């Protein structure tokens, strides 16, 4: 996505103006509209089809959490980033499938990081609407949107989620093709979930590695795939 289309939602005009100024100054995207409450958010999202919605939590009438849940049900669901003065709503925000949760006053660098993640996730959300939502079988089903990495070992593929690993019957190649918008191949035997990439680091001898949110893993990036990975992440 070259320049994400952004909808700003906050019931306070100065807050909307500050976000717009940060986006414009940093060249972070194109602001296509502003809304002051949840109902107006849904109306503008249906009309304008934003890639990303910057959403306040506490607003008159329908609050941001309910608006986010309804946005997720739209045929062209945008990525949602919450921006609020209240930290107690973070868990509920991520339950509503938010990409990130920023506290006011928002720093420019933090906003940039959130928008970069959201811009990567938005097309993945659209593709996921027509694909499987869970992998595995029986009592060992795992939601696709909770999987941090997929790793091929011996004859099996393992899905890595926080606190667990689940063996799958699918091949790594088939999973890469099915979920190409969400998972990125970083090694011949490893795919990682792009929305959960925390850092891409290079050591003193030129080797690249990734860390992921929610799991204590350092995942090697092969030399051959490093340019592709860096390009995908805009690094």
**What's the pLDDT tens digit per position in 189-212?**
999 998 899 899 999 888 999 999
What are 86's two structure tokens?
């209240």
What pLDDT sits at residue 139? 63
Would the pLDDT of 126 be above 90? no
Domain locations in the chain as residue ranges: 5-128, 134-233
Where helices occur in 73-182 by DSSP H, the ranges are 90-95, 108-128, 172-178
pLDDT(127) > 70: no
79-117 pLDDT tens trace: 999 998 877 777 676 666 788 888 899 999 999 988 988
Residue 235 reports pLDDT greater than 80 = no
Q: Which fold has domain 5-128?
A: Rossmann fold (3.40.50)
pLDDT, tens digit (0-9, with 9 covering 90-100), for 29-51: 999 999 999 999 999 999 999 99
The answer, yes or no, to whether residue 25 has pLDDT greater than 70, is yes
> Which of 126, 121, 136, 82 has its CA nearest to residue 104?
82
In percent, the amount of the chain with pLDDT more than 90 equals 60
In the CATH hierarchy, which fold is given to the domain comprising 134-233? OB fold (Dihydrolipoamide Acetyltransferase, E2P) (2.40.50)
* Comparison of pLDDT for 143 and 40, the residue scoring more: 40
Give the span between the Cα atoms of 29 and 22, in whole angstroms. 10
Q: What is the mean pLDDT of the chain?
A: 88
Using CB atoms within 10 A of its CB, is residue 66 exposed (0-12), middle (13-18) or buried (19+)?
middle
Q: Is the pLDDT of residue 222 over 80?
A: yes
Q: What is the pTM of this model?
A: 0.56
Mean pLDDT of 179-190: 92
CA distances from 30 to 5, 24, 27, 56, 102 (A): 5, 8, 8, 19, 19
What pLDDT shows up at residue 130?
47
């Amino acid at each position: 996505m070259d320049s994400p289309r952004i909808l700003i939602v906050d019931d306070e005009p100065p807050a909307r103006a500050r976000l717009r100024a940060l986006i414009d100054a940093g060249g972070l995207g194109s602001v296509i509209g502003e809304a002051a409450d949840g109902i107006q958010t849904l109306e503008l999202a249906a009309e304008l089809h934003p890639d990303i919605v910057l959403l306040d939590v506490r607003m008159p009438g329908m609050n941001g959490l309910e608006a986010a849940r309804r946005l997720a049900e739209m045929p062209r669901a945008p990525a949602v980033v919450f921006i609020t003065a209240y930290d107690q709503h973070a868990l509920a925000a991520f339950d509503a499938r938010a990409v990130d949760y920023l506290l006011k006053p928002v720093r420019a660098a933090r906003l940039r990081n959130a928008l970069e993640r959201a811009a990567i996730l938005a097309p993945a959300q659209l593709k996921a609407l027509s694909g499987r939502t869970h992998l595995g079988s029986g009592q060992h089903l795992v939601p696709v949107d909770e999987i941090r990495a997929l790793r091929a070992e011996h004859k099996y593929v393992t899905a890595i989620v926080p606190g667990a690993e689940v063996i799958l019957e699918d091949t790594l190649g088939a999973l890469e093709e099915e979920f190409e918008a969400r998972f990125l191949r970083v090694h011949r035997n490893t795919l990682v979930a792009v929305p959960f990439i925390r850092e891409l680091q290079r050591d003193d001898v030129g080797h690249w590695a990734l860390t992921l949110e929610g799991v204590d893993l350092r995942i090697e990036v092969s030399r051959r795939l490093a340019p592709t990975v860096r390009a995908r992440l805009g690094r």
